[in-house]
């Protein structure tokens, strides 16, 4: 594909004429404008319906792309047409219309938008956003791209492809020449000629093996295995693009396309670090995971690939590349923050209790063993609730039940350890702080409420059952007010983070500073 730029203020309108791939076509009945011999092509500009063709931007295997001006709206566009009459066939026109239909059905900042599709003098055309810049393939040939830039580009493209998958469409032709880079370095996915729908929706299915570019095709796509062609083919394509950005060559390349297909199906790619030793080990592992022969060993989705690439840019541990015990622990804490926070805090207090009883001898067995049993039971229950939370039909209710159980365990521990005089009172604000990890305001307020009730019960229990403990209600009201304030502030923080996350999903992520790995 050719150069194009996203400088149009107008919103993208849906195409005015998008014909289904199932529509019947009769090539012989079309009054065809043969672009290969048309005399006006040597005299730019020339009129083409409501457009004015200004210059040729580039040619592909089937189409040619021109820079044009939409006269009624006075905006620059890219116009794609089937190359010439000799290439006209039912299948090629179906593919051309499929491209228009697929691209028109999605709106994303990193996907080239479609303005219109139709015919002029029998010539099928697609009018698209004009992106002023170059294709990624041309950028790779012209300059060496840094790791950070490569990761940023593929991460943005992966987010765009994830959005495409959410619309039940797979691209199936991801390669540098189908990614445009504007003047600001922003990538845009284009060329949906091979796109197809999933689950009976989207842009239709072929009944024959899908074609594509051998260097970037997934093994199952190269085999023509219809049962396995899906979103993981695009994950492979993203890995192939990342591989070429890092090494300046595709994973597999041979002058004979048939030999290339054999390598795609049977051979393993050369690890990028063998070509360029300066490449990060982490990035190499991410890339090779995308290029696994077995689709089940690849990233499960484009979104998960994008998340790992974002972590790499941020200098965080990339889970799929974690090897040391320290990195694996970081990944575990990130993936299971609720369970990790429970076990770490409980282990800390168990350690204090063991220290007091066995070394400092300031605990009696009557207090020590029941309290230790409660803390251990609390930890075991956390493991059980985490397991329950993994069940798809239990995810919504589990946090609320878990929160209630936490307060019950804490109340039992406090009653065994001196009630309102126990050092375990510090766990009240810790519980409130941990509630924010669920990012649910209702849950924060639930824990705040039951925490206040629990502490009120402890005060009442001491008043009626512990005459040896002096009760100063002013101090307890201050403590209750402090607990309420902590819960209130955490709820505000969760609300603020929720708004920021919603806003962040609507705009491209900023370029982040990379830390050495």
- Write out the catalytic residue numbers: 173
Strand partners, 127: 79, 116
For residue 304, which of 162, 515, 514 has the smallest C-alpha distance?
162
> How many other β-carbons are positioned within 10 Å of the β-carbon of residue 13?
13
Asked whether the CA dihedral 352, 370, 340, 440 is positive or negative, the reply is: negative
Integer distance in angstroms from the first to the last C-alpha of the chain? 35
Q: Of all helices (H) and strands (E), which one includes residue 182? A: strand 179-182
Burial class of residue 296 in the structure, from the number of CB atoms within 10 Å of its CB (0-12 exposed, 13-18 middle, 19+ buried) = exposed
Q: What is the dihedral of CA 199, 205, 211, 215, to 10 degrees?
A: -20
DSSP conformation class of 43: S
Q: Strand 46-48 vs strand 51-59: parallel, antiparallel, or unpaired?
A: antiparallel
Distance, CA of 406 to CA of 422 (rounded, Å): 17
Instruction: Give how far the C-alpha of residue 383 lies from the chain's centroid of Cα atoms, to the nearest Å.
Output: 28
What single string gives the DSSP state of each residue in 60-85?
Answer: -SSEEEEEEEETTTTEEEEEEEE--G
Q: What does the alpha-carbon distance between residue 416 and residue 245 come to, in Å, rounded to a whole number? A: 62
Whose tokens are 């939409």? That residue is 70
Largest Cα–Cα distance in the chain?
106
Other beta carbons within 10 Å of 245: 23
The Cα–Cα gap between 497 and 203 comes to 37
Residues in the chain: 517
The total of other beta-carbon atoms located within 10 Å of residue 344's CB is 10
Q: What's the rounded Cα separation, in Å, for the pair 407 and 169? A: 47
User: d(Cα 234, Cα 213) in Å, to the nearest integer?
Assistant: 13
Q: Distance between CA 325 and CA 347 in Å, rounded?
A: 19
Residue 457 structure tokens:
């019960």
Query: Residue for token digits 């126990």?
Result: 422
**3-state class (DSSP) for residue 137:** helix
- Rounded Cα distance between 89 and 85, Å, is 9
């Amino acid at each position: 594909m050719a150069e194009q730029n996203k400088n149009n203020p107008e919103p993208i309108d849906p195409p005015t004429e998008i014909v289904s791939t199932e529509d019947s076509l009769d090539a012989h009945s079309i009054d065809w404008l043969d672009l290969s011999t048309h005399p006006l092509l040597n005299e730019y500009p020339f009129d083409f319906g409501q457009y004015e063709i200004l210059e040729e931007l580039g040619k592909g295997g089937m189409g040619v792309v021109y820079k044009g001006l939409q006269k009624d709206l006075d905006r620059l566009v890219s116009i794609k047409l089937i190359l010439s009459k000799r290439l006209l066939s039912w299948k090629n026109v179906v593919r051309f219309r499929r491209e228009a239909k697929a691209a028109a059905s999605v709106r994303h900042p990193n996907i080239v938008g479609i303005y219109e599709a139709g015919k002029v003098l029998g010539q099928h055309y697609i009018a698209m956003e004009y992106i002023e810049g170059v294709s990624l393939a041309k950028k790779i040939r012209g300059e060496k791209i840094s790791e950070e830039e490569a990761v940023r580009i593929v991460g943005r493209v992966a987010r765009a492809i994830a959005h495409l998958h959410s619309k039940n469409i797979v691209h199936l032709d991801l390669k540098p020449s189908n990614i445009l880079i504007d003047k600001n370095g922003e990538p845009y996915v284009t060329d949906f000629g091979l796109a197809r729908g999933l689950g009976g929706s989207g842009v239709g299915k072929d009944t024959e093996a899908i074609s594509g570019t051998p260097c970037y095709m997934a093994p199952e796509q190269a085999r023509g295995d219809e049962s396995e062609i899906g979103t993981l083919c695009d994950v492979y394509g993203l890995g192939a693009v990342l591989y070429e950005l890092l090494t300046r060559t595709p994973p597999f390349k041979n002058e004979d396309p048939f030999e290339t297909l054999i390598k795609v199906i049977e051979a393993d790619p050369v690890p990028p670090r063998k070509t360029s030793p300066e490449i990060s080990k982490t990035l190499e592992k991410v890339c090779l995971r995308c290029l696994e022969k077995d689709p089940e060993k690849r990233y499960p989705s484009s979104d998960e690939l994008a998340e790992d690439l974002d972590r790499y840019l941020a200098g965080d541990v990339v889970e799929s590349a974690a090897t040391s015990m320290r990195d694996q622990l970081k990944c575990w804490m990130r993936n299971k923050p609720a369970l990790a926070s429970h076990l770490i805090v409980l282990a800390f207090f168990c350690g204090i209790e063991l220290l007091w009883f066995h070394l400092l001898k300031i605990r009696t067995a009557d207090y020590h063993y029941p309290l230790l049993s409660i803390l251990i039971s609390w930890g075991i229950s956390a493991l059980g609730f985490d397991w329950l939370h993994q069940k798809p039909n239990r995810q919504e209710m589990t946090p609320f039940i878990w929160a209630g159980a936490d307060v019950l365990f804490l109340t039992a521990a406090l009653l065994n350890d001196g009630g309102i005089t126990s050092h375990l009172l510090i766990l009240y604000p810790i519980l409130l702080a941990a509630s924010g990890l669920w990012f649910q305001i209702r849950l924060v307020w639930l824990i705040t409420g039951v925490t206040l009730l629990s502490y009120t019960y402890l005060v009442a229990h001491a008043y009626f059952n512990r005459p040896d403990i002096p009760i100063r209600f002013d101090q307890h009201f201050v403590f209750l007010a402090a607990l309420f304030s902590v819960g209130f502030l955490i709820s505000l923080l969760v609300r603020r983070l929720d708004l920021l996350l919603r806003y962040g999903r609507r705009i491209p992520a900023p370029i982040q500073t990379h830390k050495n790995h």
